[in-house]
């Protein structure tokens, strides 16, 4: 488990915009490690964890894109029934809210990885440590 920087960028919802964004990242040798896209009529919000968050923010700004960074958790849980329930229960007991989450793994994977935005990252890390895969 670790704290990571997530980049949130707001883009127009039209063909080619995502392609231009990902091509710009590729041209700067920035890898996308996690990705989520939400659509809202004419604009969308992309949440992504990248290999070079500071460089990504500068790059997006140079291209006139509205972007900011959040601190989120990267957690890894066993690929078994009840693993996510145990994680959610531990956070509930610690009174830590999950604001949003994204991630997954293939069906045959031994573990799943998730990015979590929580109300108290330190408390979440304290209570989740014993439950997670290393």
Query: What residue ranges define each of the domains in the chain, with the CATH number in brackets?
Result: 2-69 (3.30.2130.10), 72-131 (3.30.70.260)
Residues 6+ apart with CB under 8 A from 26: none
Residue 132 has pLDDT above 80, yes or no: no
pLDDT in tens, 22-34: 999 999 999 999 9
Residue 112 has pLDDT above 80, yes or no: no
Q: What does the pLDDT average to over 9-23?
A: 90
Strand 43-50 and strand 111-118: pairing?
unpaired
- State pTM to two decimals: 0.84
Q: Is 99 helix (H, G, I), strand (E, B) or coil?
A: strand
């Amino acid at each position: 488990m670790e704290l990571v920087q997530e980049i949130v960028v707001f883009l127009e919802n039209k063909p080619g915009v995502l392609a231009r964004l990902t091509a710009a990242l590729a041209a700067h040798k920035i890898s996308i490690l996690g990705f989520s896209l939400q659509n809202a009529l004419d604009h969308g919000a992309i949440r992504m964890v990248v290999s070079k968050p500071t460089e990504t923010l500068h790059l997006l700004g140079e291209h006139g894109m509205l972007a900011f960074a959040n601190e989120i958790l990267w957690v890894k849980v066993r690929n078994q029934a009840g693993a996510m329930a145990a994680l959610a229960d531990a956070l509930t007991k610690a009174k830590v809210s999950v604001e949003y989450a994204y991630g997954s793994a293939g069906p045959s994977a031994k573990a799943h990885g998730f990015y979590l935005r929580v109300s108290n990252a330190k408390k979440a890390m304290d209570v989740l440590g014993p439950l997670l895969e290393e």
